[in-house]
């Protein structure tokens, strides 16, 4: 059995805890590897290596730090097929979708190739008589990232690229469900010229996370995962005096106005609702057609497309989506569909009976479509994280707007309309962090920043974009006066620079 250990100081290091977890192939249900689960002693080895390596890396000039990322981007591109296949084999998403996962992370590595410019400080000449003032952005020291299973390439890169480019060492604690790609990325960073110890991967579960949250040598923590754990990470790390950003779950709505192009809206919902089997934090899980006529047209366009979804293992290059990540995830989605039926939603397409010959033990769920969903039902209240789309009918624009406004989550939202005034009003008023106008999955590009509102994100700085450079650096402001500028005698009143 293949064992996935830790990656510390440029080497694969066996764990000391004696604990492991099974890694599955979700298409077959077979165990494909065992991953080591770190304890405090394992984490300590990684931190000692990071502590030793970081000062020299921070003192390396920013062009040289950037060059590691230029080479890393080349390496990721040249290993794209291998990485995508590995990713699909543990996650279950299609190989094409896995490439998107890798590319969206690699784009952040491309963005931080501009670190010499991004990390520049501020300078004011003559802030007072003979006085200059300047601000520097210095690394926090050792940063840590705790990542979810659903984007095992993208989210680790979102975190480690800006942190490392800014001069930090980084401890990555990937999801224990699909740890192979994060390990491979760390190897490629070393191959790209990163000094050993600057990127260490510590595999594990809650024990490793708790070690990170309480460790005195870690200055900043970035978390992405479910909302209950995001809250816990945010509160615990902040209580321990660390800077922390913690991104949580979602319930993303897409409003379809009567004037929208219904075919385009239905196609958009197919990709956004069922792509990656709905296991995306930016998946659309609630469609809100405005008016019954719009709703009837939308359901009529959607139902045959949902029935025709091609579901298969990653080896099926024609598949639209693959299985869910675990047996537990599959069972949870089945039970939520059961509850939807019990609580009175109309099941238009039922994915519970889906079977694939030769893959009977895979964690597949067929595409599922509900109509007549109301806000008190469990299928509306919970993040399903599966291929289940709920249609909530709204009688007018204001009623449609109210749904995402009142929802506790605020990650993404979209509106499909041909009316600029409606779109503009929607973008201005909605209390959600990422808004799509005729764009169903509005994930911002690397040079903008990614982050939700409300229960989808805790902390004030987003992932990537200039926010990420701010998050992974501390501001130090120097006020300097040289001897020639000092006036005679002491000054006892508050200096005002007047």
Catalytic center residues = 281
Supply the minimum distance, in Å, between the C-beta of residue 290 and ligand NAD. 26
Supply the minimum distance, in Å, between the C-beta of residue 458 and ligand NAD. 10
Supply the minimum distance, in Å, between the C-beta of residue 13 and ligand NAD. 19
**H or E element in which residue 339 lies:** helix 327-342
Instruction: State which residue, 57 or 458, has the beta carbon closest to ligand NAD.
Output: 458
Q: By the 8 A CB rule, do 392 and 402 touch?
A: no
The position carrying tokens 């991004």 is: 118
- Helix, strand, coil proportions of the chain in percent (round to 5)? 40, 25, 35
For the record, the structure tokens of 467 come out as: 């926010």
For the record, the structure tokens of 485 come out as: 């500028």
Task: For residue 370, give the DSSP letter.
Answer: E
Supply the minimum distance, in Å, between the C-beta of residue 228 and ligand NAD. 7
Supply the minimum distance, in Å, between the C-beta of residue 136 and ligand NAD. 30
Instruction: State which residue, 417 or 456, has the beta carbon closest to ligand NAD.
Output: 456
Strands 169-173 and 409-410: unpaired
Instruction: State which residue, 252 or 417, has the beta carbon closest to ligand NAD.
Output: 252
Q: Buried (b) or exposed (e) across 267-300, using 16+ Cβ within 10 A? A: ebbbebbbbbbbbbbbbbbbbbbbbeebbebbbe
The position carrying tokens 């000092």 is: 486
Quote the CA–CA distance of 393 and 311 in Å, as a whole number.
Answer: 28
3-class DSSP state for residue 347? strand
Supply the minimum distance, in Å, between the C-beta of residue 12 and ligand NAD. 20
Instruction: State which residue, 22 or 205, has the beta carbon closest to ligand NAD.
Output: 205
Write out the residues near ligand NAD by the rule CB under 6 A: 146-151, 173, 175-176, 205-206, 209, 224-226, 229, 247-250, 281, 383, 385, 411, 452, 456
Instruction: State which residue, 139 or 465, has the beta carbon closest to ligand NAD.
Output: 465
Phi, psi of 382 (to 5 degrees): -100, 150
Secondary structure (DSSP) of 166-192: TT-EEEEE--TTS-HHHHHHHHHHHHT
Alpha-helix runs per DSSP H in 343-388: 378-381
Supply the minimum distance, in Å, between the C-beta of residue 154 and ligand NAD. 9
Instruction: State which residue, 140 or 209, has the beta carbon closest to ligand NAD.
Output: 209
- Environment class of residue 50 by beta-carbon count within 10 Å: exposed (0-12), middle (13-18) or buried (19+)? buried
Supply the minimum distance, in Å, between the C-beta of residue 151 and ligand NAD. 6
Instruction: State which residue, 91 or 137, has the beta carbon closest to ligand NAD.
Output: 91
Quote the CA–CA distance of 75 and 30 in Å, as a whole number.
Answer: 30
Instruction: State which residue, 201 or 229, has the beta carbon closest to ligand NAD.
Output: 229
Q: Which residue is nearest to ligand NAD (CB)?
A: 225
Quote the CA–CA distance of 415 and 253 in Å, as a whole number.
Answer: 8
For the record, the structure tokens of 98 come out as: 């896995």
Quote the CA–CA distance of 332 and 340 in Å, as a whole number.
Answer: 12
3-class DSSP state for residue 232? helix
The position carrying tokens 């070393």 is: 190
- Environment class of residue 493 by beta-carbon count within 10 Å: exposed (0-12), middle (13-18) or buried (19+)? exposed
Quote the CA–CA distance of 93 and 84 in Å, as a whole number.
Answer: 9
**H or E element in which residue 54 lies:** helix 40-59
Instruction: State which residue, 200 or 456, has the beta carbon closest to ligand NAD.
Output: 456
Supply the minimum distance, in Å, between the C-beta of residue 245 and ligand NAD. 10
3-class DSSP state for residue 195? coil
Closest CA to 277 of 438, 182, 389, 435: 389
Supply the minimum distance, in Å, between the C-beta of residue 230 and ligand NAD. 7
Instruction: State which residue, 233 or 260, has the beta carbon closest to ligand NAD.
Output: 233
């Amino acid at each position: 059995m293949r064992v996935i250990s830790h990656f510390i100081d440029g080497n694969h290091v066996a764990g000391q805890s004696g604990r492991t977890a099974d890694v599955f192939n979700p298409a077959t249900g077979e165990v494909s590897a065992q991953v080591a689960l770190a304890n405090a002693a394992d984490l300590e080895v990684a931190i000692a290596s990071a502590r030793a390596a970081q000062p020299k890396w921070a003192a390396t000039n920013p062009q040289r730090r950037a060059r590691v990322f230029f080479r890393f981007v080349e390496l990721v591109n040249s290993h794209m097929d291998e990485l995508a296949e590995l990713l699909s084999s543990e996650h279950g998403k299609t190989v094409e979708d896995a490439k998107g996962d890798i590319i969206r992370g690699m784009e952040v590595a491309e963005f931080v190739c501009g670190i010499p410019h991004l990390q520049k400080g501020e300078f004011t000449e003559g802030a007072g008589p003979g006085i200059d003032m300047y601000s520097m952005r210095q690394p926090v020291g050792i940063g840590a990232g705790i990542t979810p299973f659903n984007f095992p390439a993208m989210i680790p890169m979102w975190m480690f690229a800006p942190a490392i480019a800014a001069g930090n060492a980084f401890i990555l604690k990937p999801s224990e469900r699909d740890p192979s790609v994060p390990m491979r990325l760390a190897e490629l960073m070393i191959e790209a010229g990163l000094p050993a110890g600057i990127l260490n991967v510590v595999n594990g579960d809650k024990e490793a996370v708790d070690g990170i949250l309480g460790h005195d040598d870690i200055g900043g923590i970035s978390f992405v995962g479910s909302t209950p754990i995001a809250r816990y990470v945010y509160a615990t790390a902040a209580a321990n005096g660390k800077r922390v950003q913690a991104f949580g779950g979602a319930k993303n709505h897409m409003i379809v106005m009567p004037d929208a192009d219904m075919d385009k809206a239905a196609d958009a919902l197919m990709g956004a609702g069922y792509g990656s089997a709905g296991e995306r934090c930016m998946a659309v899980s609630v469609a809100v057609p405005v008016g019954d006529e719009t709703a009837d047209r939308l359901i009529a366009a959607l139902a045959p497309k949902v029935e025709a979804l091609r579901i298969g293992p990653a080896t099926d290059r024609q598949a639209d989506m693959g299985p869910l990540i675990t047996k537990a995830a599959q069972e949870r989605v089945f039970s939520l569909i059961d509850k939807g039926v019990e609580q009175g939603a109309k099941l238009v397409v039922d994915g519970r009976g889906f079977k694939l010959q030769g893959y009977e033990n895979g964690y597949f769920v067929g595409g599922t479509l509900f109509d007549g969903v109301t806000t008190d039902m469990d299928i509306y209240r919970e993040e399903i994280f599966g291929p289940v789309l709920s249609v909530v009918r709204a009688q007018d624009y204001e009623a449609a707007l109210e749904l995402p406004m009142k929802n506790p989550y605020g990650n993404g939202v979209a509106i499909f309309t041909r009316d600029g005034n409606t779109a503009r009003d929607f973008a201005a008023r909605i209390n959600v962090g990422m808004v799509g106008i005729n764009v169903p999955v509005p994930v911002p590009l690397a040079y903008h920043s990614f982050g939700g509102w409300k229960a989808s994100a805790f902390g004030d700085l987003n992932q990537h974009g200039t926010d990420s450079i701010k998050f992974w650096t501390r501001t130090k402001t120097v006020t300097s006066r040289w001897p020639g500028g000092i006036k005679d005698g002491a000054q006892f009143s508050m200096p005002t620079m007047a």
